[in-house]
Structure 1
Amino acid sequence: MKYSHSALYCAIVAVLVSGPASAADADAEPSQALDTINVTATKRETPLQKTPVAISAISADTLDKQRVMTVADITTLVPGFSATTQGDHGVITLSMRGIGNDSAKTEYADPEVALFVDGVYTPRAEAAAGLLLDLESAEVLRGPQGTLWGRNSTVGAVNFQTAKPELGNLYGYAKLEFGNYAHIGARAAINVPVSETFAFRVALAQEQHDGYVDFQSPDGQLPSLEAQQAAYLASGGTLATFKPIDVGLFVTRGEKYNAQDQSAARISSLWTPNENFTWNLSFEYFRDRGTPNANLMQQPRAGQEFWSSLVDTAPYLDRNAYALRSRMDYVVNDGVMLSYIAGASKFDGRSDYDQDSGVLVPTSFATGATYQNDRTNYSNYESQSHELNLRSTGENAVDWIVGLYYAGEDNKIRFDIPLFNGTSQGTVAWQGSFIQPKQTVDSYAGFGQATWHLSDAWRLTAGARYTRDRKENIGGRGWGWAYNPDVPQIPITPGVQPGPENGFGLGAAGINDGRYSANKPTWLLRFDGDLSEKAFVYASVSTGYKSGGLQDGGVPYKGETLTNYEVGAKFTFLDRRLTWNNALYYEDFKNFQLAAPITFVDGSRGLGFSNVQGSTKVSGFESELTANLGDADRVSLVFSTLFQKKLGTLRYAGSNDYGGLPPCPPESGIGNCLDVSGNDLAHAPDVSLTLVYEHLFRLSGGGTLTPRISAHYESESWLSPFNLGDGDKQDAYARGDFSLRYSPAEARWWCGLYVNNVSDEKVRTNAGRTAIGNGAFLYVSQYQAPRTFGVNFGVDF
């Protein structure tokens, strides 16, 4: 608490010493007009208010004030945008306008919302959990971006623009933050001009806090020795094989779940040897030694705290990511520019995760509960992308761009699941090892787009892209328990290669070798124009596409397509002190891909993909308003509503995360499933609203004090396509964040305080359930962070 008191003291003293602002100070204030924001949604720089795309542009200043650390932190600032956390891989998955894929977290699955950094595609969902370091802006494009942005931007794309080096100026900044849960954050950057043609920039970040989830003690929860014996005998065991429950199997100390320990560094350079050529090159490293987010019981056992769990698998996370990004721009002549945007990345990660979530307490060493450790022994992803485009510049009767694109991946993973009855010393319920030594992805595309200026006020745009995708699975095997009681029943160890000869009783349940290929055109037709200097309108029809692929067993699944019909209007009022942007859309989704871990009819397990038949239809309205009210008040309003959000036809939807689903017909190939046809989409509230308000107190000494309030509301939403009831739902909620910042006059430092999730709301981001008999279930969920608070300081130099 001493940090909070010190920041509050700093703010109060500033007010008392400085006093109210004078009339002379007020007269000296600059224009109250909003800054002109330029975006790159059309692969050329255009003003936001004249860009015919539903796009949210978040500046570096807003990112700083909102304390944006990961992509999940910007979702409340964008209409129809949401992020969920997925525990066993510790990743963030994204949904937009109700469409997303919670299982886009393996070597098989791709996201519907594409992530780009400086225009370079980032293919793996794990990257979304990385720190957002030294950004210039974040652009979130809503609706399919299949023509210009292409790969997997089915329902939208997010492009982070990093801060670039500048010639001629030596400057930098540093920030430091302290908070509850032993939070420490530090960020710094420096821009160094070396010559008239070369400069570089270095940025660093470290964010860490203790875990939010406490360990429950097994003392007082485990049954007596006599009760353990009785339970074991009732299950068919004998006293000769009975073992008391070993309390040492439960984790009671060490790193807790939901902890953060992340570091990032980037060095970037700018070289402009002449006025026609510019080369931006950067290398980035990201390190994660935190812990995964735990699944928590929605209703804790009596006597247990909400933020706690009975843990039998210690949390572990070890990730490293490397990225090289390059952009070369060459002015061919006064009207043409050639650009080459390329990137290469490498990711490796390992993790251990308590998938059983401590929901049930064992009644003996082999009964009453389950032990499940979801263990990623290794995951290695290597990717590259290349885009070469040629485009017109300046004022033309026709603006055009043509380009070629290639993206490739080479991925491998081993994922083990020991699943035991009772405890890890119990009997095998099932265990398996999924080993994918090589999965490759190759995607080729050519694209073009042209905008014809029909007059000074009206424009017609047409664009097309042709994509060819190839995927290959080489040597992939799913090893599963062969139900051999003669084999010693112990959890499989990471260093052992599965097979009949190794003593773990695993057989090759799935052979995943296979090839997939598909071709698909996507296109755009758009009409836009200026009704006046203050009003801009557009109407468009566009398509998006995400390729299919291969699932466990080498079985292919289909690619998905989306057609989006949209009209939009952007207004600028009150001498540019107010902007109001709106979009009305209707989306028709074909072959929407749903993925989940499933159990097949023969008892084997794997990740299954299903294509929703018919049309999945989504329609809605989005609105963003930003205004400077007077010379001291700024308000932003973000609103979205969905009119329609229904799945098409899918009779056999299964998921091992949802125990107790009814048996499936044999022809489905799935052990348990549910008909989800016509159900509501997950993570798709009918209404979401964010209001941000800040007031600038100008002090007589020239300093400023700025309180900022951010309030977010969402109506209820389902957490899965099963729509199973209250446990599978996030109720309507409202949460707020508060910050206060003091900046002294003629000084280059500031100090402040913050409180996030002021009312300590418990907001679910996913759900799962365990069947406990007689039609009853216990539900678990992951949650947004509890209330956090602290102080921060910054200096510019």
Structure 2
Amino acid sequence: MMMGPAPLTSVQTLSRRVGAALLIGTILSASPALAQSAPAPAETAAPQADPAPESKDIVVTAQRRRESVQTVAIAVTALSGDALAEKSVMRQGDLQNAAPGLSITKAGLTDSINIRGIGLASGSPQVTNGVSTYLDGVFQPPIASAGQFYDMAGVEVLRGPQGTLSGANSTGGAIYMTTKKPELGKFGGSASIGYGNYNNLNANVALNIPVTDTLAIRFAGLANTRDSYYKDLGTAHAAPDRLSEHDARLQALWKSGGFSALGKVELIERNTGGYAYRPIATTQFSADRAKTAAPWTVDYDTNPSNFERATLTNLELKYQFEGGLTILSRTAYLNKRINNVYDVDGTSLSSGTGVDGSALAQLGQNQFVREREYSQEINIISPDTGRFKYVVGAYGQRNKVNVRINNTTNGAVSLYIEPDTDKELIGLFGQASYQLTDKFQIEAGLRYSHFHVDGSGGVYSPARTLLVPQTGSEGDGRVTGKITLNYKPDANNLIYVFAARGYKNGGINPPGGTFAPETVMDYEAGWKSTLFNRHLRTQIGAFYNDYKNFQEDIINQTSGSSGVTNLANATIKGFEASFQGHVGALSVDGGLSFVDSSLSSFSLINKWLVPSQFSGYPQCTGSNAARCYNYNPDITTSSGGPNLFSPKWTWNIGAQYKIETGHDITVTPRLNYAYVGSQWAYVTYAAATDLINAHGVLNGSIAIDKGDLRFEVYGSNLANSFYVVGQSGKNEFYGAPREYGVRFSTKF
């Protein structure tokens, strides 16, 4: 079914398109669904579904069902709410310390989330992220990064293309974050308060209230403040990376018979005190590094700031028929806004000559970005019993992105950058499995995605003269899918092989230029086992990815802003392994990932050769001679190499020992260590500027439990390692120093 390219004009139009698409899926699936609701005759009864996962089993829901991680043919790391706390995974960025193959690097406005080296390596609103992130089933735009985890049910990190259920923007994988839902007939909740160094004061609370037999509400809130890790030696007396964060979440669940309605409103407000830029060695402003050579010091003459606000709304309607057939609808609206002030050069230098021979100037930037998202998804989910199971559905999403940037030189505006982007994504999908025999199962899925984008706005001189229009349109669509063969020789082992096709939509390189969609074929094999009377669980897999029209972030020569080029090819291959084991009071877990990637050669503008004061200027054409830059001498050819933000090795290991002391008191010490290998941040592959060195982080805690009460002493980065965690322009970011403190929590 082909969808028209005309952009949506309202949420209602979006819903009507999705509803029409769903009607077709309903007609196609109605007969087998109704047949499944009737019991099969005894002599032809289908095999029973796997028993419900035991309480200690790890459960995943990414395939719209509750399944044990050991029975799904997906490379996935699943962490419960308790496991997140045990592994010191306090925020989305900490997930790379617990999930092999995942790297999350700081990039200023957006974090670069990459799985197996695929994800988001650009801050441009024209570029689609290759790792889709979901909160309570709703896709999250990359701006206004996720805050601290609290009142969480769990997180699932899915590796590899998710071209069937997760959609077009998941060529690298998907991350599903799920909060705890209201519970009927149960009054309870939790509370936690903690204090640590850097005046880190953190408190969160959750309260579940059963209003009636059919109605329950759940409130959860978070407040967190912390001083800056950095000392500013400059005149700005800035406090970058300080934190003031407030989050409130209200959910209501109404359930009667087979129908349930779950509504959520979440408000997020975060002030981080600005991004802690420091100039990279050998770049224009690195002469000032002599003042900032000490760890966690900066030298600013502009006071940076960062203020994020987000409103998240979500309505989930579900009806389960008597035979088990379920219809699920999810409607969401998100509004994310961010205001930033940058000290672009990261120094107090404003005169003289830089190490690259160019004149120095005081460079700053004021930035406002707003992204609004409307989405609607409808699923039809078959009963969990029987040989044949399926999910069919439709999805629609529209994003409106508004960017307003003022670049300043020596305190005066030098450039206005004001692009507006309107995106639309429509998808139809279905996935089914059939139990061929007691040991063999086949799964197959297809998805058709249609994408359209319109760009408007422009880049303007200080006199508001149009220098480069930010206009353009692009539309594309692709069929993606997956076919899997599962073999279960016994109840404790699963062996699987599959082939999957992923797709990431194209887009625009204003003014008027476009880039093509990216596609990938993914071939994987895996083995999941439960050994030694359920004392050890393992997950092992290998993969090979073949990319066509691979999208690489570059400087668009015409506009001088971030753009995209398509590479001839790219390949990524590797393997992953993880385990969870326990013997008596000792529990041990870990994960390992090896990724080998290769990009073809291509031409690009070497950003290191462009003086910082000309960043964002368009190419000189004769009509814009006053505000332009000639990029031609700075064009170079990349010889090809590993994909960006793709460490070859990542691994983690953790252990805890539960000591019973009597009087219903237990003491549990735990240590976690995570290693992230070196990775390239730019395709010129110069070690002095482009290489992010490997680092390891050691975290630990000692928890004392008595009933529902817990007292905990914690520490992160115990070795106080100083390491780079990302780049933006010609500046780099650093990881947090050693943090330690105490927490007291209770459940009731």
Scaled by the length of structure 2, what TM-score is found?
A: 0.86
**Residue 151 of structure 2, aligned match among 121, 128, 134:** 134
Question: Which of structures 1 and 2 has the bigger CA Rg?
Answer: 1
State the Cα distance separating 1:304 from its structure 2 match. Answer: 5.4
State the Cα distance separating 1:206 from its structure 2 match. Answer: 1.4
Query: Could you tell me whether the CA contact under 8 Å between 2:553 and 2:564 is conserved in 1?
Result: yes
Structure 2 counterparts to residues 608-687 of structure 1, below 5 A: 608-612=563-567, 614-629=568-583, 631-642=584-595, 644-655=596-607, 672-687=634-649
Task: Give RMSD over aligned pairs.
Answer: 2.6
Structure 1 pair 161–769 and aligned structure 2 pair: CA distance change class (3 A)? closer
Instruction: Return the alpha-carbon distance in structure 2 between the equivalents of residues 594 and 188 of structure 1.
Output: 43
**Residue 110 of structure 1, aligned match among 125, 128, 133:** 128
The aligned counterpart of 1:53 is 74
The aligned counterpart of 2:650 is 688
Query: Could you tell me whether the CA contact under 8 Å between 2:87 and 2:654 is conserved in 1?
Result: no
State the Cα distance separating 1:200 from its structure 2 match. Answer: 0.6
Structure 1 gaps of 5+ residues are 1-32, 218-249, 481-503, 771-779
**3-state SS in 2 of match to 1:651:** strand
Structure 1 pair 112–549 and aligned structure 2 pair: CA distance change class (3 A)? same
The aligned counterpart of 1:92 is 111
Structure 2 counterparts to residues 49-198 of structure 1, below 5 A: 49-87=70-108, 89=109, 91-103=110-122, 105-122=123-140, 124-198=141-215
State the Cα distance separating 1:555 from its structure 2 match. Answer: 1.6
Structure 1 pair 625–156 and aligned structure 2 pair: CA distance change class (3 A)? same
State the Cα distance separating 1:657 from its structure 2 match. Answer: 9.2
Structure 2 counterparts to residues 37-48 of structure 1, below 5 A: 37-48=58-69
The aligned counterpart of 1:373 is 364
Instruction: Return the alpha-carbon distance in structure 2 between the equivalents of residues 656 and 605 of structure 1.
Output: 14
State the Cα distance separating 1:361 from its structure 2 match. Answer: 6.0
**Residue 680 of structure 2, aligned match among 714, 718, 724:** 718
Query: Could you tell me whether the CA contact under 8 Å between 1:599 and 1:672 is conserved in 2?
Result: no
Instruction: Return the alpha-carbon distance in structure 1 between the equivalents of residues 498 and 293 of structure 2.
Output: 54
State the Cα distance separating 1:653 from its structure 2 match. Answer: 4.7
Query: Could you tell me whether the CA contact under 8 Å between 1:657 and 1:768 is conserved in 2?
Result: no
Instruction: Return the alpha-carbon distance in structure 2 between the equivalents of residues 527 and 298 of structure 1.
Output: 49
**Residue 325 of structure 1, aligned match among 314, 319, 343:** 314
Structure 2 counterparts to residues 705-744 of structure 1, below 5 A: 705-744=667-706
Instruction: Return the alpha-carbon distance in structure 2 between the equivalents of residues 159 and 404 of structure 1.
Output: 19
State the Cα distance separating 1:654 from its structure 2 match. Answer: 4.1
Structure 1 pair 349–96 and aligned structure 2 pair: CA distance change class (3 A)? same
Structure 1 pair 564–468 and aligned structure 2 pair: CA distance change class (3 A)? same
State the Cα distance separating 1:769 from its structure 2 match. Answer: 7.7
* 1:347 to 2:333 alignment: no
Instruction: Return the alpha-carbon distance in structure 2 between the equivalents of residues 444 and 202 of structure 1.
Output: 33
State the Cα distance separating 1:323 from its structure 2 match. Answer: 0.7
**3-state SS in 2 of match to 1:73:** helix
State the Cα distance separating 1:335 from its structure 2 match. Answer: 4.2
Amino acid in the other structure paired with 1:121: F
Query: Could you tell me whether the CA contact under 8 Å between 2:292 and 2:299 is conserved in 1?
Result: no
Instruction: Return the alpha-carbon distance in structure 1 between the equivalents of residues 157 and 692 of structure 2.
Output: 25
The aligned counterpart of 1:469 is 451
Amino acid in the other structure paired with 2:310: A
The aligned counterpart of 2:553 is 595
The aligned counterpart of 1:395 is 385
Query: Could you tell me whether the CA contact under 8 Å between 2:317 and 2:329 is conserved in 1?
Result: yes
- Per-residue CA deviations over 1:3-49 (Å, capped at 9, x if unaligned) read xxxxxxxxxxxxxxxxxxxxxxxxxxxxxx98112211222221110
Structure 2 counterparts to residues 221-370 of structure 1, below 5 A: 250-252=235-237, 255-274=238-257, 276-297=258-279, 300-301=289-290, 305-358=294-347, 360=349, 362-363=351-352, 369-370=360-361
**3-state SS in 2 of match to 1:148:** coil
- Per-residue CA deviations over 1:728-755 (Å, capped at 9, x if unaligned) read 22333322111111113xx422111111
Instruction: Return the alpha-carbon distance in structure 1 between the equivalents of residues 631 and 485 of structure 2.
Output: 48
Structure 2 gaps of 5+ residues are 1-53, 282-288, 622-629
The aligned counterpart of 2:662 is 700
State the Cα distance separating 1:106 from its structure 2 match. Answer: 4.0
**Residue 784 of structure 1, aligned match among 711, 735, 741:** 735
Query: Could you tell me whether the CA contact under 8 Å between 2:358 and 2:611 is conserved in 1?
Result: no
**3-state SS in 2 of match to 1:542:** strand
Query: Could you tell me whether the CA contact under 8 Å between 2:118 and 2:172 is conserved in 1?
Result: yes
State the Cα distance separating 1:717 from its structure 2 match. Answer: 2.3
Instruction: Return the alpha-carbon distance in structure 1 between the equivalents of residues 211 and 728 of structure 2.
Output: 55
The aligned counterpart of 2:745 is 794
- Per-residue CA deviations over 1:518-563 (Å, capped at 9, x if unaligned) read 1111011111120222210110100111111112323211111111
Query: Could you tell me whether the CA contact under 8 Å between 2:374 and 2:399 is conserved in 1?
Result: yes
Query: Could you tell me whether the CA contact under 8 Å between 2:348 and 2:362 is conserved in 1?
Result: no
Count of matched residue positions in the alignment of Structure 1 and Structure 2:
674
Query: Could you tell me whether the CA contact under 8 Å between 1:657 and 1:769 is conserved in 2?
Result: no
Query: Could you tell me whether the CA contact under 8 Å between 1:114 and 1:157 is conserved in 2?
Result: yes
Instruction: Return the alpha-carbon distance in structure 1 between the equivalents of residues 129 and 149 of structure 2.
Output: 19
Instruction: Return the alpha-carbon distance in structure 2 between the equivalents of residues 432 and 113 of structure 1.
Output: 32
Instruction: Return the alpha-carbon distance in structure 2 between the equivalents of residues 653 and 588 of structure 1.
Output: 26
Amino acid in the other structure paired with 1:58: L
- Per-residue CA deviations over 1:76-114 (Å, capped at 9, x if unaligned) read 111100101122x2x3220110123221x3432221100
- Per-residue CA deviations over 1:565-594 (Å, capped at 9, x if unaligned) read 000110001111110001100011122222
Query: Could you tell me whether the CA contact under 8 Å between 2:349 and 2:362 is conserved in 1?
Result: no
Amino acid in the other structure paired with 2:417: F
Scaled by the length of structure 1, what TM-score is found?
A: 0.81
Structure 1 pair 786–714 and aligned structure 2 pair: CA distance change class (3 A)? same
Amino acid in the other structure paired with 2:742: V
* 1:424 to 2:411 alignment: yes
Instruction: Return the alpha-carbon distance in structure 2 between the equivalents of residues 279 and 671 of structure 1.
Output: 61
Instruction: Return the alpha-carbon distance in structure 2 between the equivalents of residues 294 and 709 of structure 1.
Output: 29
